[in-house]
Amino acid sequence: MDTILDALREYLPFLIPIILLQLALMAFALIDLVRRPQAGVNGPKWAWAFIVVLVNIIGPIAYFLIGRREV
């Protein structure tokens, strides 16, 4: 058990920024998705919400690159 905690402590400085980036991207993508009208989204909004929440880091990036449509 101690070796697992030691390994976690070793990698924690690298994991914290990645986790914060993931949470920020997810929050911004979900807020944008909720505020954007259906005509401004490529595909159903519920599917994009699913992708943003379940597909780490890549899901929100995919939404911003592919899912949004300028209205």
Q: What is the pLDDT of residue 26?
A: 96
How do the domains of the chain map onto residue ranges?
A: 2-67
Whole-model pTM? 0.81
- 3-41 pLDDT, tens per residue? 888 888 888 899 899 999 999 999 999 999 999 998 899
CA distance 41 to 53: 16
Q: What is the pLDDT of residue 71?
A: 65
Q: What is the pLDDT of residue 65?
A: 93
CA distance 66 to 42: 7
Q: What is the pLDDT of residue 2?
A: 72
